[in-house]
Structure 1
Amino acid sequence: MNTAKDGNAVPAEGAEPISCTIEELIERARSLAEGSRRILGITGAPGAGKSTVAEAVAEALGTQAARVGMDAFHLANTVLAEHGSRDRKGAPDTFDSWGYANLLRRLKDNDEPVVYAPVFDRSLEESIGSAIPVERAVPLVITEGNYLLLDTDGWSACRELIDEVWYLEVAESERQVRLVRRHEAFGKPHDEAEAWALGSDQRNADVVDATRERADLVVALTGHPKPASYAQA
């Protein structure tokens, strides 16, 4: 793993990804869960497997970790329609980045007995508020999303609150296949699913790829955990 002598993560700086197993990532997360509240971010392009890895790590850590997602801060479809950006849903400006930053700040400060985080329901394509309770005693919060490393207003405020960010890297062909299958799983016909994966999703992937060098760890996962569905982010 990329660590300095003091145990802190070393920025990736465009380095080749480190091949490791999910078990190794779980152990790294477990070390982050020792002591006071910390926040672990998992990022990567759409279809990289962020949600799958976050779920696997959270499940392994049990009561030591809670999982919240950036996707819960999608602007509502009605708002996107008003803005004329419904067909670009998933782009950086279609999220409430400052709202996400405020949630991370509350989680980082850990002053409240419990913080209730929202969740994004892919079957509805909308967010549901106050759905995930994060109690004060939980030492590690795991959050995943495309834009954790984006250096713009709102998003940069989020990055400042995250202690360590992992960037997941996956072969482009595999990532695109995953995206098409995910869209199909949620009701899109094949042609529409493919158009979305190669259009809007790909434009967002290019934005995410440009943030790669800001990660603390770039990971090429070996023995990737098999997702329960094609809903991986």
Structure 2
Amino acid sequence: MEGDGSVREAPLRVLVDELVTHVLVGLPADRRTVVGLCGPPGAGKSRATALLVYALRCAGVSTGQVPMDGYHLSNRQLDTFGARDRKGAPDTFDVAGFRDMLSRVRQCRDETIYAPDFSRPLDEPIAAVHAVPADARVIVTEGNYLMFETGGWEHIRPLLDLVIYIDAPRRTLTRRLVRRHRHHGRDEDGAREWVRTVDLPNAEAVQRTRSRADLVWRPVP
């Protein structure tokens, strides 16, 4: 299903608890459920994912993670076609690899599957960070472009049973992203320039996909 555009505002932990109840009620016994957390950079997807995985495990549900950011192209590959200065744009990911991994975790339930993640300190993807156990019933993925309809991304949304869009005001995104880039080594001017020229244009493109989500969250303090 696709959402009606209404926004659910509540503390993030409350939203996660409500989602766990929603997932448990509809959890099929004969196949895996894949939940996607989508939103612009800086919206809080990683924190929401960590809370959701923890809450599901506390509820006794075996869970795995397959983050989209594990499919960033390496800096070496980005350098080959001059795209390192816009790293994080839709065409700087191995979208086919991400699609194939989601298909694999949906279908294969007789082995442990290992999925990559992205290291911000290294600024590179790292293989086999996450282990999806054979008995996993819910797979959680998160990323900016889960609901894009071009560039190969159009194959991702059909692989997701439920997508939650995490909304945040532009000023909140800007503040968080500048702080993130400063933390990982950019100076103040460099951080603000990257946010202005790379992150916020990507955020605007992601926000245009919001209507394709099943649920829209706006976490509040």
**TM-score between the two structures when normalised by the length of structure 2:** 0.91
> What is the CA-CA distance between 1:135 and the residue it aligns to?
1.1
Unpaired stretches in structure 1, ≥5 consecutive residues:
1-9, 224-233
> What is the CA-CA distance between 1:117 and the residue it aligns to?
0.5
Aligned mates of 1:26, 1:192 — CA distance in 2: 40
Match of residue 75 from structure 1 = 73
Amino acid at match of 2:94: D
Match of residue 19 from structure 2 = 25
Among all aligned residue pairs of Structure 1 and Structure 2, give the percentage whose two residues are the same amino acid. Answer: 37
Match of residue 137 from structure 2 = 139
Aligned mates of 1:221, 1:57 — CA distance in 2: 14
1:75–1:96 contact (8 Å) kept in structure 2: yes
Structure 1 SS opposite 2:18: helix
Structure 1 SS opposite 2:66: strand
Structure 1 SS opposite 2:73: coil
Q: Deviations over 1:44-97 (max 9, x none)?
A: 011110111001111112252222210010011011011111101000000010
Match of residue 7 from structure 1 = none
Cα gap change, 1:46 to 1:32, in 2 (>3 Å): farther
Matches within 5 A, 1:78-227: 78-223=76-221
Q: Does 1:49 align with 2:44?
A: yes
Question: Number of matched residues?
Answer: 213
Unpaired stretches in structure 2, ≥5 consecutive residues:
none
Aligned mates of 2:85, 2:37 — CA distance in 1: 25
> What is the CA-CA distance between 1:33 and the residue it aligns to?
4.7
Which aligned segments of 4 or more residues in structure 1 are displaced greater than 4 angstroms? none
Q: Does 1:16 align with 2:6?
A: yes
1:33–1:65 contact (8 Å) kept in structure 2: no
> What is the CA-CA distance between 1:202 and the residue it aligns to?
0.7
2:109–2:135 contact (8 Å) kept in structure 1: no
2:66–2:102 contact (8 Å) kept in structure 1: no
1:32–1:140 contact (8 Å) kept in structure 2: no
Cα gap change, 1:219 to 1:111, in 2 (>3 Å): same
Q: Deviations over 1:127-183 (max 9, x none)?
A: 111221101201001000000000024211111111111001112211110111111
Cα gap change, 1:142 to 1:31, in 2 (>3 Å): farther
> What is the CA-CA distance between 1:110 and the residue it aligns to?
2.4
> What is the CA-CA distance between 1:11 and the residue it aligns to?
1.6
1:37–1:140 contact (8 Å) kept in structure 2: yes
Aligned mates of 2:25, 2:9 — CA distance in 1: 19
Cα gap change, 1:101 to 1:108, in 2 (>3 Å): same
Aligned mates of 1:32, 1:69 — CA distance in 2: 23
Cα gap change, 1:31 to 1:64, in 2 (>3 Å): farther
Match of residue 64 from structure 1 = 62
> What is the CA-CA distance between 1:26 and the residue it aligns to?
3.3
After superposition, the CA RMSD in angstroms is 1.6
Structure 1 SS opposite 2:156: helix
1:37–1:110 contact (8 Å) kept in structure 2: no
Amino acid at match of 1:185: H
Structure 2 SS opposite 1:199: helix
**TM-score between the two structures when normalised by the length of structure 1:** 0.86
Structure 1 SS opposite 2:191: helix
2:167–2:216 contact (8 Å) kept in structure 1: yes
